Amino acid sequence: MKVLKFGGTSVGSATTINNVISILEKKSKNNTIIVVVSAVGGITDKLLYAAHLAIEKDKDYKDVFLRIKDIHIDLVKQLIPTDNESIVSAIEIKLDSLNNLLEGLYLLNDLTPKISDKLFSYGELLSSYIIAETMKSRELDVIRKNSQELIVTNSNHGNAEISRKETEENIKEYFIQNSQSITILPGFVAKSNTGEETTLGRGGSDYTAAIVAAALKADVLEIWTDVSGMYTANPNLVKQAIPIKQLSFQEAMELSHFGAKVLYPPTVQPVEDANIPILIKNTMQPDDAGTKISDEKNASIKNPVKGITHINNIALLTLQGPGMVGIPGFSKRLFEILAQEKINVIFITQASSEHAICFGIDIKDSEVAENAINKAFEYEITLKKIDPIIVESGLSIIALIGDNMKNHQGISGRMFSTLGKNNINVRAIAQGASERNISAVIGENDASKALNALHERFFEVQNKRLNVFIVGVGNVGERLIDQIEQQYSFLKKKLKIDVRIVGMANSRKMVFNENGIDLEDWPSAFDFAEQSNLERFFNKVLELNLHNSIFVDITADEKVSDWYAPYLHHSISVVACNKIACSGSYSTYKNLHDLALNFNTSFLYETNVGAGLPIINTLNNLVASGDKVTSIEAVLSGSLNFVFNNFGDHTNFHDTVKRAQFEGYTEPDPRIDLSGIDVARKILILARENGEKMEIEDIKNESFLTKANLESISVDDFYDTLKEDESHFQQIYASAKANNCQLKYVAEFKNGKAKVGLREISEGHPFYNLEGKDNIVMFYTERYPEQPLIVKGAGAGADVTASGLFADIIKIGNK
C-alpha cells in the first residue's frame, strides 16, 4: 500500500492533473493507492481575498467568486469534455453554498476562525471531487472519501490538533471495508469531535497524508510537488543546487524547519514513529529519483553536510546586563514571557559569562516581544541591573544541516571562514550538542551571497564561480571578453573555475545580468542598457552582493581608480590595468593594499607594468622568497620602443609617432608616452613593490623632447612641434648611429633612487636587440648579482594586455 499526496501545483491545471492521473494509473496496477490532494493551485488565496472583500463591504468579492467558479468548471470541461453535465451541476451546487457563505460575510462583516475553516475547506473538497470524477470517467477503479469523516480534531480552528487514536481507528475501519484500487482524499480538512469543520493549518495536506500512512502502516509516503526532491539549497537562490538523494528523518525535520518548503515539519513525526519512508517526487518529471527520507544509513555518502538552508525576516533580541551574572531565573522569566505572548523562538544562544541571552524570532513578533520583556523586567531595568531589550532587524538565519557533521572535524571552521572571506558579518552563532545543525545570524542582504558561497564550499568543490564586473569595454576589454569566452570550458574543466561576466560598462552605457552576460553576443546587451554611471555601477555590484566578485578596470581614468577603495572595503577584488592608483600618492597605494589585506580580498595590477609580462609577479616572488633586489634596469614602454626601433635617417620622427598612434601603440594623446611620465609611473610601481616609499616627484625624468614639445597645448599642436623640431630628433639618432648604438628609453632603480631617460645602448647589451614593442626588465639581486634575472616579451598590445588581466582573474580564482 502506498499513500501519495499531490500539492496545489500538481493539481493546478488540466495538464498537471492529467500527469497525476497517469502516475496513479501506473502505480495502481500493483498497489493499493491512497491519494491526498490539495486545493487547485491559487484557490486558497482567492478564497481569502474574496472573504476580505466581503467583510470590507466591497462587492468585488462577487467577481472573485465568479473567477473561482469559472476555474473549477473550466477544469471539469477540459478533463471531461463530454457527458460532464452532472459533474458540473454538482460543482455548481457546492459553489452555491460558498456564495451563500460569502454573502453572509458581506452582511455580518465578521470572519471568525470557525467560518475561515469552513471557507478554506472548499478548495480541497472541490479538487478531490473533480479528480475522482475524472478518473471514474476514464474507467479507473477509484472512490472518493471525505477526510472530514475520518480525521477528528479539537476545536482549535485554523490549526486544529488531531485526536490520533480516534482518527486512526476511523481510517483503519474505513479501509478494511474499502476494496477500490485508488482512494481519493481531500487534504487539510477535518472535523472536530463536536462535528464542526476544522483545518490542519500550514502544510495540512502533507500532515493528512502522513496520518493516513501511519495509521495503515503504508509501505511509503510519496509527496508529489513541483521540484525533484529536497535540494542542497534553495534552487531559486543557488542555481547550482542539486536534489539530495537521501536524508534521515531528523535531517529532513531540520531542513523543513529552516525554510525548505517542500516538506512541513509535522509531516515527518507520524511516519518516523511508524518507520515509513518518505519520497519527495516531481509531478512534471516523475522519472527523477527525488529525495528519500528514512532511517537508513548510506555509507557511500561522503559529504557530512546534507543541505544549507535559511530563514528571512528575523529579529535578534538581546537581554543583557551585569545583574544577570550568576543569578538564576532570568532565562525562565524571559521565555515564560514569550510563551505567554505566543511568540515562537527560532534561535537561542547564551555566552558562558551569563551576561547576555540572545534569541531570534519572526520580525512580526518583535514589537510585541520588546514591549512585553521591557515591562516584565521594568524593576531590574530601573535599577540598571539589566539593559532594555536590544532589538536588531533585517536579519536572516543560515544553517548547515547534516547528521554526520559531528564525526567530521572542521565543519564550523570551514563555514565561518567562508563567510568571513566573503565579508559576511556573523551576528550570532548556535550549535546543539548533536551538531546536526550549525546556525548563524547574518544580515538579510547577505543571505543569497552566503548560500552561494557555502554551497560552493561544501557542494561544488570542483567549481569556483567568479563574478566579474568590467569597466572599460574598449579594445583591450573586447579582447578580454573574447579570451574569457574562448577559455570558459577549459577553465571549468581543468582549473575548476567558472568565470561569468555579470556586469560591464563603457563610457556611455552599462549592463548587468546576475546569471552571466551571454558572451557570444555581448554587444547586443548594450542595446537595452542604462546610462553609464560609476556610482550606480558600484551600487548595483553591492545590490547583487555576489560571492567571489571581481571589479576589473580597463581604463586610464582617475575617476574609476577612485572607486577601488570602496570595492575593496566590501571584499570585492580589484584587477586594474589602470596604473593611476598605484603610481599616485604613496598613501593611496598603501591604503589600497591595507584594505585588501584587512578585508581578505585581492588587489592585482600585473598589467600596470609590461602588459601581460609577469614582471610584478616575478618581483613579488623574489621579495617573498627572501631575496633582496639591488637594482632594476628596464625598457618599459612598448610605445617608445616601437618609435625608436622604426625611426631613422630615412624616416621623420613626426611620421613615426603618427604610425605608432595609428597602430595602437600609444595613448590617444601621445605626449603621455613620449614625455616619459608613463615609464616613470612604471618604475615607481616596481620600486614600491620592492618596499620603497617613493613618490612620482622622486623619479628623475630626463626628457628627450624639446621645450616646445613639452609646452604644446594640444595633440595637434604637439604634432606641429614635432615637425618643427625634426632636426633635434635627427641629431639624437645620428649620435647613436655614430656610436654604433641603439636608442632605448630606459628606467633605472638603484640605491633607493630612480630615473628614466633616453639612452644609447651599445652592442652586446641585453637591450640592444630589443625589437618592435617588446619590453625587458633586468633584476639584479643578492642571488642574481652578475647575471640578472630577465623578463622579456611584448609589452604593449590589446591581446597581451587582456591576457595579463585574465591571468590576474585566474589567480584570484586559484586563491
Q: Which residues are catalytic?
A: 682
Give the DSSP H or E segment for 553: strand 549-553
Which three three-digit cell numbers place residue 152? 477528528
Q: Is 653 exposed, middle or buried, given 0-12, 13-18 or 19+ CB atoms closer than 10 A?
A: buried
For 32-42, b where at least 16 C-beta lie within 10 A, e where not — what string?
A: bbbbbbbbbbe
Q: Does residue 81 sit in helix, strand or coil?
A: coil
CA 771 to chain centre: 48
Angle value at C-alpha 127, between 122 and 131, nearest 5 degrees: 155
Nearest to 288 by CA among 220, 240, 233, 230: 230
Instruction: Give all strands (DSSP E) within 66-176, no chain letters.
Output: 142-144, 152-153
DSSP string, 412-465: HHHHHHHHHHTT--EEEEEE-TT-SEEEEEEEGGGHHHHHHHHHHHHH-TT-EE
| Dihedral sign for Cα atoms in the order 590, 591, 592, 598 | positive
Question: 123 to each of 8, 264, 277, 318, how far by Cα in Å?
Answer: 10, 20, 28, 43
3-state secondary structure 597-608: HHCCCCEECHHH
CB 284 within 8 A of CB 258: no
Q: Which residues contact 767 (CB under 8 A, 6 or more apart)?
A: 633, 635, 742, 744, 746, 761, 776
Strands in 246-247's sheet, in edge-to-edge order, are 142-144, 182-186, 33-37, 2-6, 220-225, 278-282, 291-293, 246-247
Nearest to 71 by CA among 95, 54, 49, 90: 95
Residue in this structure with the C-alpha cell 617588446, named with its chain if needed = 774
The Cα–Cα gap between 291 and 771 comes to 65
CB 196 within 8 A of CB 155: yes
Residue spans of alpha helices (H) in 283-347 = 330-340
The Cα–Cα gap between 587 and 689 comes to 14
The Cα–Cα gap between 754 and 683 comes to 7
The Cα–Cα gap between 573 and 487 comes to 21
Strands 189-192 and 152-153: parallel
CB 36 within 8 A of CB 185: yes
Instruction: Give all strands (DSSP E) within 483-535, no chain letters.
Output: 497-505, 509-512, 530-531
DSSP string, 662-684: HTTSS-SSTHHHHTSHHHHHHHH
Question: 177 to each of 144, 170, 172, how far by Cα in Å?
Answer: 14, 11, 9
The Cα–Cα gap between 168 and 214 comes to 8
The Cα–Cα gap between 260 and 252 comes to 9
What is the Cβ-side half-sphere exposure of residue 136, based on CA atoms within 13 angstroms?
16
CB 343 within 8 A of CB 365: yes
The Cα–Cα gap between 318 and 350 comes to 10
DSSP string, 332-365: HHHHHHHHHTTPPEEEEEE-TT-SEEEEEEEGGG
The size of the chain, in residues, is 815
